[in-house]
Structure 1
Amino acid sequence: MKEEEIIEKLQKLGLTKYESLAYITLLKLGPSKATDITKESGIPHTRVYDVLSSLHRKGFVDVMHGAPRLYKPVNPEVVLEKIKEEFIEDLENLKAAFLELYRQVHGEELPEIWTIQGFENTVERAEYVIRTAKHEVLINAPFEFLRLLKDEIKRRKDIIFVIISNFEEIPEWLNADNIILAKTGGAPWLMASWIIGDIDYALFFGALPRDKRREKFYSFWAKSPKIIQNYMHWFYTIYLDNSEIIKPLNYGKLPKPLSFVNIRTLITVLKFTELPRRAEVIGRLVETKEPVTLDGEIVEYEYTPLMANVTVKASGKEWKVGGIGSYFEDVEGEKFILLE
């Protein structure tokens, strides 16, 4: 990266041009006198002390007192990590403030749904879903599209994948222990592609474009838990349940604990192991909405197009646990953790 580009990026982080020049100069020279910094950087002598003092306040420079006084650059990794942490904290605080302002007027979470234009942008969003997922990724897409996600899928060994596609054979890069593969059963009346990460992000689109229309390709991007829950339900009941499992999960080889936010993913995984299974469930009591954590064993499950729940034996009692939005069960499960 050219020095001009570095200066431009440092200015975006809140440094002035002179501060950027001084810090870059110190990285080149190491601990230096103010006069040396002036000579190397071109910063006017009348300004250099103010610039260095400002850099010290911002955490970029340490002052080594003595005769002469020396200025030492703080390790860039330390500086940038601190800026990153503060920036993320500020963003989270802004997000919370904005949502609170929205709820005061509308009384609900701000729905986040966008239209994405361009095929390359859609691929980038699909990669982002996989890259940021913490628990599970659900994919229903033609193999032609699936191949474009190869590198991101191979990289994630720490989450569960449930992938439906028009497989002819299973490629080596999809043979990992944490991947469930199903050969699509069709459902031509509702053919669509989905890439869903936890309940945080979902990407949806129809038929893939021909080359000459790639820039006119549109997809839909959602960050709305209520909508994503519906996507998840359709993914399982319309697509996976009407497809053929061609590669099961290798449950025994996966490091534990395993965590999920979708109860249908949990039950799909349980089908590849034996019950009872030690587990922890974090959620809320359906009647009172009080937080509850169950630490016990999953002893059975129920799975139909209309209903999905597990029975957890904990604290000398059996609890019926459903997914988010449950109202027939005892507990609305928000997170499911398999401990063994």
Structure 2
Amino acid sequence: MDRETLTKALEYADLASYQADAYLTLLEMGVSPAIEVGRESAVPVSQVYDVLRSLESKGYVETIEREKLYVQPCDPEAAMADLETRGELLHEAAEAVRERYRTPERMDARVGVTKRVKTAVENAQELIDDAETVVEVAGSFEQLQSLSPALRAARERGVVVRASVYIDQGEEPPAAFDPSGVLSELRVCTIPGPFLVVIDRNRTCFGPNTRSDEDYGVLVYDRILPFVFHWFFLTCLWNPYRVVYLDDEDQFTYVTIEEFIRDLLPLWERGFELGVTVEGVDIAEGDETTVEGSVADISFYGDERPPSRLALSDLGAYKNLTLDTGDETAVVGGWGAVFEDMEIRTITLERIDIGETPLTHERRD
């Protein structure tokens, strides 16, 4: 470290400019007459005695009375220990300031507004660290890349991670962007949209990427508002677009009952037996639970209509599945289930058996 930088550092440690210069000069000279320190440094000779006395009171130097006043540097351990303590304190203060900037002042209000989209992204990184079941995320390649370490750790914990990335027609993903081990499924959205993360149905980070007059972010800790953001993700940023990456481990795991019914109702109506494992929450007890069985019934608002290819919008009202476990039946509902036995977190399709289908009737005939 050069002398100029070291002088500034000592000034940060509460030394005045003359004190820092005199101290560094003395370190170079060793034991010396006080008057010589004044001559070799930038301290005016008329002030050198006062400056050295003040340094002595701070523990940096020691004066020696001889025929004239001498001065020598003290062992720096004590003074530098104080300097190091100040440095640690300043470092901790800087981290605390950053944390307070990222976190809204009143998180008990359930909704916080930040001044930058970047702050929403930074908060998403921390919230993803606590994800247990599913993360739904939409953003630019750069935003997804910044979340990659947190998303990779979530995948290693068994969390389902569904991502939609905004991409222009003909654009190629950056060479550094690799979804393997980071995402369960990736889709490309050709219309620019906001940064959005929905975590475990109770936390949301949102920020506009385009078409906004102001730069801001929204943080939500709640079970109701994330439901609205989830449906926006599902219908506007996810369902309409093509899949470009799918992790084989999760290809038969659903995180919404709507998508399960939409995809598998045609098979069930034709008589195929669907064996599933449902992980969720027991509504009566509030405890996590797992149920294995076959789908005995699929019910939703409007299911009396003639069969047709369902859209997600057809399943916006009530819907549930009845599972036959072999010993009993259990009714499972989706996000916000009230009257069912359990609310699903994930549904994994374990098997599809032919059962009583038109195909088996043809074989019997």
TM-score by length of 1: 0.51
Distance 1:296 1:197, change over 3 A: same
Q: Give the aligned partner of residue 135 of structure 1.
A: 133
Partner SS for 1:176: coil
Q: Return 5+ residue gaps in structure 1 as ranges.
A: 1-41, 43-109
C-alpha spacing 1:279/1:249, structure 2 compared with 1 (3 Å): same
Deviation at 1:131, TM superposition (A): 1.8
The counterpart of 2:184, out of the listed 179, 182, 199, is 179
Deviation at 1:201, TM superposition (A): 1.4
* Distance in 2 between residues matched to 1:238 and 1:333, nearest whole Å: 24
User: Is the CA contact 2:165–2:189 (under 8 Å) kept in the aligned structure 1?
Assistant: yes
Post-superposition offset of 1:169: 4.1
| Shift of residue 125, structure 1, vs aligned partner | 0.8
Q: CA deviation at 1:126?
A: 1.8
Deviations 1:88-147, CA, capped at 9 Å, x for gaps? xxxxxxxxxxxxxxxxxxxxxx75000012344222112113222111110111223223
Distance change (3 Å), C-alpha of 1:152 and 1:173 = farther
Q: Contact conserved, 1:284 with 1:291, CA < 8 A, in 2?
A: yes
Structure 2 equivalent of residue 313 of structure 1: 324
In structure 2, what is the Cα distance between the partners aligned to 1:228 and 1:269?
A: 24
- What is the CA–CA distance in structure 2 between the aligned matches of 1:166 and 1:138, rounded to whole Å? 14
Unaligned runs of 5+ in 2: 1-77, 79-107, 266-271, 301-309, 351-365
Q: Distance in 1 between matches of 2:234 and 2:126?
A: 22
Q: How far, CA to CA, are the matches of 1:336 and 1:248 in structure 2?
A: 17
Aligned to 2:333: 322
Mapping 1:1-340, distance limit 5 Å: 112-157=110-155, 158=157, 159-167=159-167, 168-169=171-172, 173-176=178-181, 178-186=183-191, 191-207=193-209, 217-251=215-249, 262-263=256-257, 276-284=274-282, 289=284, 295-299=291-295, 304-305=312-313, 306-307=316-317, 309-316=320-327, 319-326=330-337, 330-336=340-346, 338=348
Shift of 1:235: 1.3
Q: Secondary structure at the match of 2:224?
A: helix
Query: 1:263: Cα distance to partner?
Result: 3.9
For residues 189 and 140 of structure 2, the distance between their equivalents in structure 1, rounded to whole angstroms, comes to 9
Q: Which residue of 2 aligns with 1:38?
A: none
Please identify runs of 4+ aligned residues in structure 1 that moved more than 6 A. Answer: 265-271, 300-303
Residue 49 of structure 2 corresponds to none
Residues 191-242 of structure 1 show CA distances to partners (whole Å, capped at 9, x for unaligned) of 43211111231011112599xx9xx721100001111122112211232122
Matched to 2:333, the amino acid is: G
For the 8 Å contact 1:281–1:337, the answer to whether it is kept is yes
Q: Structure 1 vs Structure 2: percent identity of aligned residues?
A: 16
The one-letter code of the counterpart of 1:325 is: G
Residues 141 and 165 of structure 1 are in contact (CA less than 8 Å); yes or no, is this contact kept in structure 2?
yes
Contact 1:135 1:259 in 2 (8 A): no
- 1:241–1:185 distance in 2 versus 1, CA, 3 Å: farther
Change (3 A) 1:209 1:146: farther
- What amino acid sits opposite 2:135 in the alignment? V
Residue 295 of structure 1 aligns to which amino acid in structure 2?
A: V
- The structure number with the bigger radius of gyration is 2
> Aligned partners of 2:124, 2:250: CA distance in 1, in Å?
29
Size of the aligned set, in residue pairs, is 216
Let me know the Cα RMSD of the aligned residues.
4.1
Residues 185, 239 of structure 1: 8 Å contact kept: no
What SS does structure 1 have at the residue aligned with 2:145?
helix
Q: Distance in 2 between matches of 1:166 and 1:290?
A: 41
Shift of 1:326: 3.3
Q: What is the alpha-carbon distance in structure 2 between the residues aligned to residue 149 and residue 275 of structure 1?
A: 39
Alpha-carbon distance change, 318 to 245 in structure 1, aligned in 2, over 3 angstroms: farther
Q: Tell whether the 8 Å contact from 1:140 to 1:193 is kept in structure 2 after alignment.
A: yes
CA distance in 1, matches of 2:221, 2:336: 17
In structure 2, do the counterparts of structure 1 residues 284 and 155 end up closer, same or farther at CA, with 3 Å as the change threshold? closer
Amino acid at match of 1:333: E
CA distance in 2, matches of 1:268, 1:175: 27
Deviation at 1:309, TM superposition (A): 4.1
Higher mean displacement: 303-312 or 160-169: 303-312
Distance 2:119 2:250 in 1: 37
1:177 and 1:251 in contact (8 A); partners too: no
Q: Secondary structure at the match of 1:279?
A: strand
Q: Which amino acid aligns with 2:216?
A: Y
